[in-house]
């Protein structure tokens, strides 16, 4: 016969064993599961096709003149009546950078972000700090001719491997061209014998082009040679593909040449095209001083304002908006931003899409790049919400 006390003890042991097993099962069933993998990104839709022909970007300006792009992709422009230098942002808004200038003409951005601007009314070049809007003299020039002062300036030669450093300055009233050190203190004459040199450009081989209102575009390589004869050239720029563009006031047109001087195209019917510029996609921008407009002709592709979404996990999904010119079908590549931004996912654009990327960063903005893997490349600063 088993003692009643022993039976009770055995029963207690059995109950404790069952309870412990139940606790173990509860622990197993409530263990954390791995976080779900974020869903893969899909390419964002392409923007609508870029307009064919000229597209007016700004209207009703007093007298827009010379144009230039800064490192962030903003279009800088001077206004000779308003006495201002301003920037056109990618979203279409305008920011005034400096005022109180006397006929601001050529514009060049230096590596430190400051701007050099030719003041025709005072025959000098000033340096402008975009952050403080402070204006100070960089270099003054002598003009005893009674003619208007210096017109366009630039480009900076430091980034051209085959050319010596410095800034090209066409001395308009005196008919000569200078190379001036980037501190503005020393100068070397590199061209002479011109009627009124008003703009300059340089190609990748270091050949300098000078627009002369006397009716010629000259090259300095280093001797002066006639590149083209045109009615009152006002400015000249060289594209990434090596093509040369010249705006002319005598026939209100913009002429395109190949590097050998053969004319490829001509856009006519403009109203005093005083300024001309190319972005890094070789898209053409020009000002029409006669009707107060700045316009653009898309030759490859452009980037409109992107769409940015903040996710619940704190990352950002960026949808670029790529708009292609008619007939431009080259494959494009989207490059991820640099450190400290981490790119979590990236989808390349196609002929009918704009690509996409997901990033993680503590920065307030990132810079993305879209290019064809060769000559054409557009960068864009994207503000994060």
The Cα angle at residue 250 between residues 247 and 251, in degrees rounded to 5: 75
| 191's tokens | 């061209």
Residue 50: burial class (beta carbons within 10 Å; 0-12, 13-18, 19+): buried
**At 17, which helix (H) or strand (E)?**
helix 4-29
Backbone angles phi, psi at 179, to 5 degrees: -110, 115
- Rounded CA Rg of the chain: 31
State the chain's maximal CA–CA distance in angstroms.
135
Q: How confident is the model at residue 162 (pLDDT cuts 50, 70, 90)?
A: low
Q: Closest Cα partner for 73 from 93, 90, 97, 54? A: 90
What sign does the dihedral 179-88-305-353 (CA atoms) show? negative
CB 210 within 8 A of CB 191: yes
Is the pLDDT at 85 greater than 50, yes or no? yes
CA distances from 236 to 284, 305, 318 (A): 12, 29, 37
Judged by phi (left if over 0) then psi (alpha if -120 to 50, else beta), residue 368 lies in beta
Cα–Cα distance measured from residue 318 to residue 320, given in angstroms and rounded to the nearest whole number:
6
Cα–Cα distance measured from residue 177 to residue 127, given in angstroms and rounded to the nearest whole number:
20
Cα–Cα distance measured from residue 276 to residue 233, given in angstroms and rounded to the nearest whole number:
11
Q: What is the pLDDT of residue 158?
A: 74
Task: Kindly provide the b/e burial profile for residues 158-171, where b requires at least 16 CB atoms within 10 angstroms of the residue's own CB.
Answer: eebeebeebbbbbb
Is the pLDDT at 317 greater than 60, yes or no? yes
Is the pLDDT at 29 greater than 60, yes or no? no
Would you call 195 helix, strand, or coil by DSSP? coil
Question: What's the predicted TM-score (pTM) here?
Answer: 0.87
Average pLDDT estimate for 10-33 = 44
Spell out the residues 6+ positions from residue 116 whose beta carbon is closer than 8 angstroms to its own.
106, 107, 108, 109, 110, 125, 126, 127, 128, 138, 153, 154, 167
> Could you count the other beta carbons within 10 Å of the beta carbon of residue 282?
17
Summarised one tens digit per residue, pLDDT across range 92-109 is 999 999 999 999 999 999
Average pLDDT estimate for 343-353 = 96
Average pLDDT estimate for 248-269 = 97
Backbone angles phi, psi at 210, to 5 degrees: -130, 125
Summarised one tens digit per residue, pLDDT across range 263-290 is 999 999 999 999 999 999 999 999 999 9
């Amino acid at each position: 016969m088993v003692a009643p006390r022993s039976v009770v003890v055995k029963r207690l042991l059995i109950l404790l064993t069952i309870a412990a097993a139940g606790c173990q099962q509860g622990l197993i069933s409530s263990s954390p599961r791995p976080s779900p993998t974020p869903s893969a990104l899909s390419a964002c839709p392409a923007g609508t096709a870029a307009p064919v022909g000229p597209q007016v970007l700004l209207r009703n300006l007093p007298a827009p003149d010379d144009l230039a792009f800064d490192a962030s992709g903003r279009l800088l422009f001077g206004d000779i009546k308003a006495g201002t230098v301003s920037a056109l942002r990618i979203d279409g808004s305008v920011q005034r950078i400096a005022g109180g200038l006397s006929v601001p003409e050529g514009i060049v951005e230096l590596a430190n972000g400051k701007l050099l601007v030719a003041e025709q009314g005072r025959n000098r070049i000033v340096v402008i700090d975009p952050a403080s809007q402070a204006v100070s003299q960089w270099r003054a020039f002598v003009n005893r001719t009674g003619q208007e002062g210096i017109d366009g300036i630039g480009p900076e030669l430091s980034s051209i491997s085959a050319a010596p450093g410095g800034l090209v300055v066409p001395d308009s009233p005196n008919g000569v061209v200078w190379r001036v050190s980037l501190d503005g203190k020393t100068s070397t004459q590199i061209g002479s014998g011109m009627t009124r040199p008003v703009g300059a450009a340089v190609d990748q081989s270091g050949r300098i082009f000078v627009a002369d209102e006397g009716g010629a575009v000259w090259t300095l390589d280093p001797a002066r040679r006639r590149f083209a004869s045109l009615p009152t050239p006002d400015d000249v720029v060289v594209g990434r593909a090596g093509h040369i563009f010249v705006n002319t006031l005598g026939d209100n047109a913009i002429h395109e040449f190949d590097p050998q001087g053969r004319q490829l195209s001509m856009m006519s019917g403009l109203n005093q095209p005083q300024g001309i510029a190319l972005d890094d996609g070789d898209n053409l921008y020009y000002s029409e001083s006669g009707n107060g407009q700045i316009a653009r002709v898309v030759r490859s592709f452009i980037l409109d304002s992107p769409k940015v979404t903040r996710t619940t996990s704190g990352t950002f999904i960026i949808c670029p908006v790529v708009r292609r010119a008619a007939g431009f079908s080259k494959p494009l590549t989207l490059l991820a931003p640099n450190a400290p931004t981490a790119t979590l996912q990236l989808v390349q654009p196609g002929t009918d899409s704009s690509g996409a990327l997901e990033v993680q960063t503590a920065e307030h903005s990132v810079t993305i790049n879209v290019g064809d893997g060769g000559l054409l490349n557009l960068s864009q600063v994207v503000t994060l919400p």
